[in-house]
Structure 1
Amino acid sequence: MEKICQFFRNNYVLANCEDAIYKKAFSLNLSHYQISQVPDIIEKCETLMKLFLNQNKLTKIPSSIGSLMRLQVLTLDYNKLDEFPLCICRLVRLKFLNISCNSISCLPPEIGYLTLLETFWCNNTGLLELPTEIRNCEHLETLGVRGNPLQKLPDAIGALSSLRWLTAEGCELSDVPLTMALLGNLVHLNLKGNRLRRLPRMLMAMQKLRFVFLNENRIDELPTRSQLEELRTLHMLNLSKNPISLHRDLQLMALRQTNLYVELPSDPADISDGLTSRASLNTQEQQEDQARGAGQDMDSSDWANSVRTSELDTTDESTLENNIEDLSVMLPEMSRFVTTF
């Protein structure tokens, strides 16, 4: 019965590809079909700008996908890939790429060819390191490498001047490079569940940083008052579930002099139990003002939250035909109806 179901699924996928070719479609959704291979006919879908292949059983991607030169969005998360498909690096217009939840332990240097990439999700892949060439992805705004055995981030990450959202939660980082101080546009930094022992020094230099998650690390001292004064632009600093020093009372008195919301362990006895509470260092009215301010500055009120990998659903139910962003695809067709006088 399973073979019969798979036969019909494969044929349905093939029919969708043929329909996309005939209609010169801009978006093709082949996600959740449990297919083990992409139809070869995909290379004829030359007008595609969005291709969704997530939640399948793909073990490899045909090199012909590299010929889809208009492609801007590609999702490959939740498949069975065991290496990064090199053909992707030929998609020089790509803006969004999700390869999360595969078995991809390394990224090729050619990742640097994707200079227009804005969002890159590489969560839970077993990634061991980020290549230095990531510096060439100068338009990158969102980078997710959560749940990987990364022991360090490359110094080259400081070259990502457009980066606004960085999550490296659940890795094995014991330190972060000082070059991160160059990330002048970073708003959200999630380093939860690593091996950090102290507050990263570079935080003081990041003027647009608003939300920092350092909970579940090995930090044993609270920031000093002078350090917090340098963090005046922060809205939230999460230090819960850390082995915070017992000199909390004196330090909290200093913390209350700042306009900052900090989450800490409830008391020393609770640290070993993993219990947390919120130490409110400003009034509720101030917190609400900060939340509104964050929404105005970042065009979203959700900057304080890290999205789970399983919730990264970028599948577009609508087609791009109703919202054309690339007129270069339409012009050749329109030119047939233009009369020259």
Structure 2
Amino acid sequence: MPEAITCERERESSVLLAKEKNQMSRLRGAQQETVDSLRGFKAPKSEATVPYGLLRAARKSGSLNLTSRNLTEVPANVYRLNVDTPEEARGDASFSSSDRWWEQTDLTKLLLSSNRLSGLSEDIRLLPALATLDLHDNRLQTLPTALGELRDLQELRLSHNQLKSLPVELFSLKKLRSLTLQQNLLEALPEEIGQLEALTQLDLSDNLLTELPSGLGRVGRLQNLQLCRNKLIRLPESLALLTNVKLLDCSGNQLSHLPACLSQMAALEQLYLRHNKLRQLPPLRAPKLKELYVGNNQLESVSGEQASDWSALSVLELRDNKIRTLPEQLAALVGLTRLDLTNNDIGTLPAWLALLPDLNILLLEGNPLRGIRRDLLTKGTKEILQYLRGRIKEEPDGAVDTPTAMTLPSQAVVDVRNVKALKSLTYSDRKAESIPEQLFAAAADVAVTSVDFSKNLLSQVPPRLAEMRDCLTDLNLAFNRLNACQLLCSLPNLLHLDLRNNQLRDLPSQLKNLSKLHSVVLNYNKFSAFPEVLYHMPSLESILLGNNQVGGHLDPDRLMALSRLSTLDLSNNDLLNVPPRLGLCTSLRCLKLEGNPFRTPRAAIVAKGTDAVMEYLRDRIPADQHTLTAASS
């Protein structure tokens, strides 16, 4: 009996213990539920998009750089940077003389480029001291009207966005000096643009503009106007009022004529009219005009009267037109340094070209020239001019090759006049293995734009060329012994590059960094295939690869992507076939294929010229590929 009582008590104790455990478990669960229920009333602790240290530094410097931070919106504490009391002011801490929050500086520079911003808040008005606002390379579709309240704004960068229109309030910014809007979706501009009285630089390139407002003429301080690659069919007469504009770029539009008022732009120095539909030029009496680019149009002639107005001209580009003759008045352009006549219909080369004292670049590829050996054209400007001088009966006074009484030819290492006056560095035909240091020393303080080191024994690209990376546009390294050209990738402003007659087998992939390069001459090298990097250079207009060993596959679809390519020289190579789809490269105006071992097209068709070859190739494209191409375009 006592044993039964003992067992019963043990069971009761176990039941009580189990109940206590269950109760404790419920209490703990209730406490957890209580904690969880309060979480909804507490601010979530997440990592700040903009580090607080960066904001604190911005209060001291007045500059905040938020470039490439993957932002989808601008954090509120950025807008309220100069409004809210900083955290350190609320803390119990002592401050050194270098960390006084109450001595903060108003934000004057805000950089938000290369993010994913689709909009900008009206709170931007809380930063009224901004002088620079950089929003380029985002996804902006609209702009807040509050931008008009930034009365001190001087520079506004909005390029590479998706803007279709601009708020009128933007044009009330009286201190705005620079406005960049390239690569957007703008179809029109309001007349109020004329209210930007302080504006000196306006970039509207790569948009969808079909016309310009007459109010643009009221932007009287404008110096640089970029309008390239739009859909402009005319220019407003009010451009005559822009008497301070030095550079006007209207390339890549649909202009069929130009207003005569361009002659009234008295300060104009550079005029770009490439890739339009011009059949003739108006009088251009701009007294300071130094560079005129009218390539890729439909010009059939240049009148002597027009040429007489170009007295200050140093660069004249007439390539890819239909010009047959040159007016003798061009002989009076004593300052002309570059004349590009590529791909025209010139049959006879006038001898008076040899009398132009400063002419150092003469481009003649793609013309049906008669009376001059073809091999002479590949030897460069100097040989062509020497040939033309031989045709002149009487050598003119003050011939360019005559040394002075004070200087022997062997002593004339540096032509100081060319370096300083023409911004040209020339050391050609010296059979030198390196370029003298004194030559670079003479150019140390000059913004050299043209370099000619041809006809030497250079085995590498002179390293000191890198010192000219900001200004060099023309480089001639032809007739040397180069087998590599990696250094050229550091010259981002190059427009023309001549590497003919070297020992190159390939080009570095980094050459695609030369995003402005228009022409590259690679004749007489050792290329066995079409250089891969050239497919990645959409700015190219002329590729000369003649007299190499180029064979293998030529990719016509990738060549079609080079929408500006008008000249392609593949003559005297090892091409076994020509892909028919090459005929779809409609931008090509000069295609040279002679001297290759392919069977089709036949030599008789190749001899008829580019149009006949392109038509032949198109006829050989299967019908289904034609349909596919049309659908994709």
Alignment of 1:277-288 (within 5 A): none
Q: Residue 291 of structure 1 aligns to which amino acid in structure 2?
A: L
Report the counterpart of residue 268 of structure 1 in structure 2: 367
1:57–1:80: 8 Å Cα contact kept in structure 2?
A: yes
Report the counterpart of residue 270 of structure 2 in structure 1: 188
The two structures have a TM-score, normalised by structure 2, of 0.42
Report the counterpart of residue 195 of structure 2 in structure 1: 113
Given the superposition, is the C-alpha separation of residues 14 and 265 from structure 1 closer, same or farther in structure 2, using an over 3 Å criterion?
farther
Q: Residue 220 of structure 1 aligns to which amino acid in structure 2?
A: E
Shift, 1:20, TM fit? 6.2
Shift, 1:64, TM fit? 0.6
Report the counterpart of residue 37 of structure 1 in structure 2: 119
Report the counterpart of residue 141 of structure 1 in structure 2: 223
Aligned mates of 2:265, 2:353 — CA distance in 1: 26
Shift, 1:33, TM fit? 1.2
Shift, 1:88, TM fit? 1.0
2:295–2:321: 8 Å Cα contact kept in structure 1?
A: yes
The two structures have a TM-score, normalised by structure 1, of 0.75
1:196–1:219: 8 Å Cα contact kept in structure 2?
A: yes
Shift, 1:212, TM fit? 0.8
Deviation string, structure 1 residues 32-83 (Cα, Å, up to 9, x no partner) = 1111111332111011001011111111101011100000100111111111
Aligned mates of 1:217, 1:287 — CA distance in 2: 32
* Structure 1 unmatched ranges of 5 or more: 271-275, 313-341
Aligned mates of 2:188, 2:515 — CA distance in 1: 24
2:423–2:447: 8 Å Cα contact kept in structure 1?
A: no
**2:316 pairs with one of 222, 227, 237:** 237
Report the counterpart of residue 93 of structure 1 in structure 2: 175
Shift, 1:228, TM fit? 3.2
**1:212 pairs with one of 292, 295, 308:** 292
2:164–2:185: 8 Å Cα contact kept in structure 1?
A: yes
**1:253 pairs with one of 351, 361, 382:** 351
1:241–1:264: 8 Å Cα contact kept in structure 2?
A: no
2:70–2:116: 8 Å Cα contact kept in structure 1?
A: no
Deviation string, structure 1 residues 260-283 (Cα, Å, up to 9, x no partner) = 65755424359xxxxx99867977
1:211–1:303: 8 Å Cα contact kept in structure 2?
A: no
Alignment of 1:52-131 (within 5 A): 52-131=134-213
Given the superposition, is the C-alpha separation of residues 148 and 10 from structure 1 closer, same or farther in structure 2, using an over 3 Å criterion?
closer
2:283–2:306: 8 Å Cα contact kept in structure 1?
A: no
1:109–1:133: 8 Å Cα contact kept in structure 2?
A: yes
Aligned mates of 1:146, 1:182 — CA distance in 2: 21
Aligned mates of 1:10, 1:74 — CA distance in 2: 20
Q: Residue 42 of structure 1 aligns to which amino acid in structure 2?
A: I
Deviation string, structure 1 residues 207-232 (Cα, Å, up to 9, x no partner) = 111111111111122454x6434322
Aligned mates of 1:25, 1:311 — CA distance in 2: 34
**What SS is found at the alignment partner of 2:107?**
coil
Identity of aligned residues (%): 22
Shift, 1:140, TM fit? 0.1
1:116–1:137: 8 Å Cα contact kept in structure 2?
A: yes
Aligned mates of 2:236, 2:113 — CA distance in 1: 33
Shift, 1:244, TM fit? 2.2
1:158–1:182: 8 Å Cα contact kept in structure 2?
A: yes
2:73–2:120: 8 Å Cα contact kept in structure 1?
A: no
Aligned mates of 2:124, 2:81 — CA distance in 1: 11
Aligned mates of 1:117, 1:71 — CA distance in 2: 11
Report the counterpart of residue 201 of structure 1 in structure 2: 282
The answer to whether residue 423 in structure 2 is matched with residue 292 in structure 1 is: yes
Q: Residue 253 of structure 1 aligns to which amino acid in structure 2?
A: A
The answer to whether residue 236 in structure 2 is matched with residue 154 in structure 1 is: yes
Report the counterpart of residue 99 of structure 2 in structure 1: none
Query: RCO greater where, 1 or 2, for CA within 8 Å and sep 6 or more?
Result: 1
2:290–2:314: 8 Å Cα contact kept in structure 1?
A: yes
Shift, 1:241, TM fit? 1.4
Aligned mates of 2:267, 2:447 — CA distance in 1: 14
Aligned mates of 2:350, 2:208 — CA distance in 1: 39
Shift, 1:107, TM fit? 0.6
Given the superposition, is the C-alpha separation of residues 136 and 148 from structure 1 closer, same or farther in structure 2, using an over 3 Å criterion?
same
**What SS is found at the alignment partner of 1:157?**
helix
Aligned mates of 2:198, 2:279 — CA distance in 1: 35
Q: Residue 212 of structure 1 aligns to which amino acid in structure 2?
A: L
The answer to whether residue 68 in structure 2 is matched with residue 9 in structure 1 is: no
Which deviates more, 277-286 or 154-163?
Answer: 277-286
Aligned mates of 1:303, 1:20 — CA distance in 2: 44
> Greater CA radius of gyration, 1 or 2?
2
Given the superposition, is the C-alpha separation of residues 55 and 182 from structure 1 closer, same or farther in structure 2, using an over 3 Å criterion?
same
Shift, 1:255, TM fit? 4.0
**What SS is found at the alignment partner of 1:201?**
coil
Report the counterpart of residue 325 of structure 1 in structure 2: none
Shift, 1:251, TM fit? 5.8
Report the counterpart of residue 330 of structure 1 in structure 2: none
**What SS is found at the alignment partner of 1:216?**
coil
